[in-house]
Amino acid sequence: MQNYNVYASRLVPKREPFAPGHRACIGCGEALAVRLACKALPQNVIIANATGCMEVVSSQFPMTAWRMPWIHTLFENTAAVASGVESALKAMARKGKRPDTGTKVVAMAGDGGTSDIGIQALSGALERGHDFLYICFDNEAYMNTGIQRSSATPFGASTTTSPAGKMSIGQKTWKKNVPAIAAAHDIPYVATASHSYPFDLMAKVAKGVAMPGPAYIHINSVCPTGWRSAPDLSVRLGRLAVQTGVFPLYEIENGKYKLSMELPELKPVQDYLKLQGRFRHLSEDTIREIQQRVVEEYEKIKEKAQ
Ligand SMILES: Cc1ncc(C[n+]2csc(CCOP(=O)(O)OP(=O)(O)O)c2C)c(N)n1
Ligand code: SF4
């Protein structure tokens, strides 16, 4: 707890495997999350990265922000590519073609690539028990192609394909619970994290990548462009998502739930919603509905963690 909201730069590794100079928007929480995650990874790592913002902003030919072996994968097959790399490394070591250097494999994708089109490949890889870490950077829509709703878009958010208007409140379904889906595969490690709690995020990434077998980490990533929020509020918004219970931080280690922070009292969701233009149309009734749902979901996690 004592480390959660204190930022002390000297305690963070200085190396920047995700180099500055990429083309992410100002205040991009997803780029911050990737940067922190990469700092927590070992140096002998191979990354399989789906199409999406983080691939597009970091790899415009002839430049790259990746100071580590990195493969651009299709939107739909990131976990399958990671599985193939992991199996190939094992097979080459077994056949004596390459020494076993303990290279780790990490898959990275957005919420669209994870909760929608890549979920089949993800489920397959988790079920087969590949030794890899999958990280979903969840900015709650298909941001790279113009803010279309995904199944991880929260209820009531206005996006270009779930626009709010006279006849619609925006997104009509509740956010898909991908960490729960990953956990249902009985894998050794599942966690949620936020770029606004950097030490917690880095500890979880280090743990997930070291864990033998599949690990899944779902990272809340503020997107000022898609959330219609001020770029200088991204870190505050990430904290508010956690403090309101909208995005609880927890771990599931070998089936055992553990809350990462004690929250004696949840802040009102309105504190979080009002800073974002995508929720600006919501009525008091809808906000009450969201508040109720957030508390219910938070209580469920809390109960599991007891
Ligand atoms: C099969 C397929 N369909 C659509 C696209 C177009 N496409 C590229 S990136 C993207 C959105 C990515 O959204 P997400 O995974 O949430 O990542 P973000 O850009 O938000 O970080 C889409 C629809 C594609 N590359 N491949
Ligand atoms: S659209 Fe959003 S996620 Fe994509 S680079 Fe810009 S701020 Fe980051």
Residue pair 136/194 in contact by the 8 Å Cβ criterion = no
Q: How confident is the model at residue 13 (pLDDT cuts 50, 70, 90)?
A: confident
Ligand 1 atom index nearest CA of 52:
19
Q: Check residue 8 and give its pLDDT.
A: 62
Distance CA 288, CA 12 (A): 40
273-298: pLDDT as tens digits: 999 999 999 999 999 999 999 999 99
Q: Is any atom of ligand 1 closer than 6 Å to the C-beta of 145?
A: yes
pLDDT score of 154 more than 70: yes
Q: Is any atom of ligand 2 closer than 6 Å to the C-beta of 143?
A: yes
How remote is the CA of residue 229 from the centroid of ligand 1, in Å? 21
Which of 3-12, 33-42, 44-53 has the least mean pLDDT?
Answer: 3-12
Q: How confident is the model at residue 1 (pLDDT cuts 50, 70, 90)?
A: very low
Q: Is any atom of ligand 1 closer than 6 Å to the C-beta of 112?
A: yes
Ligand nearest to the CA of 143: 1
Residue pair 197/4 in contact by the 8 Å Cβ criterion = yes
Interaxial angle between packed helices 234-243 and 29-40, expressed in degrees from 0 to 180 and rounded to the nearest 10: 80
Q: Check residue 12 and give its pLDDT.
A: 81
Q: Is any atom of ligand 2 closer than 6 Å to the C-beta of 24?
A: yes
215-251: pLDDT as tens digits: 999 999 999 999 999 999 999 999 999 999 999 999 9
Ligand 1 atom index nearest CA of 226:
20
Ligand nearest to the CA of 110: 1
Residue pair 237/286 in contact by the 8 Å Cβ criterion = no
Ligand nearest to the CA of 234: 2
Q: Is any atom of ligand 2 closer than 6 Å to the C-beta of 57?
A: yes
190-200: pLDDT as tens digits: 999 999 999 99
160-199: pLDDT as tens digits: 999 999 999 999 999 999 999 999 999 999 999 999 999 9
pLDDT (mean) for 65-72: 98
Q: Check residue 127 and give its pLDDT.
A: 98
What is the pTM assigned to this prediction? Answer: 0.96
Q: How confident is the model at residue 157 (pLDDT cuts 50, 70, 90)?
A: very high
Q: Is any atom of ligand 2 closer than 6 Å to the C-beta of 54?
A: no
Q: Is any atom of ligand 1 closer than 6 Å to the C-beta of 78?
A: no
Ligand 1 atom index nearest CA of 114:
15
Q: Is any atom of ligand 2 closer than 6 Å to the C-beta of 225?
A: yes
Q: Is any atom of ligand 2 closer than 6 Å to the C-beta of 226?
A: yes
How remote is the CA of residue 237 from the centroid of ligand 1, in Å? 24
pLDDT score of 129 more than 70: yes
Q: What is the DSSP letter of 65?
A: -
- What residues contact 151, with CB distance under 8 A and at least 6 apart? 111, 115, 116, 173, 175, 176
- Phi and psi of 24, rounded to 5°? -65, 155
Residue pair 140/150 in contact by the 8 Å Cβ criterion = yes
How remote is the CA of residue 42 from the centroid of ligand 1, in Å? 28
pLDDT score of 6 more than 60: no
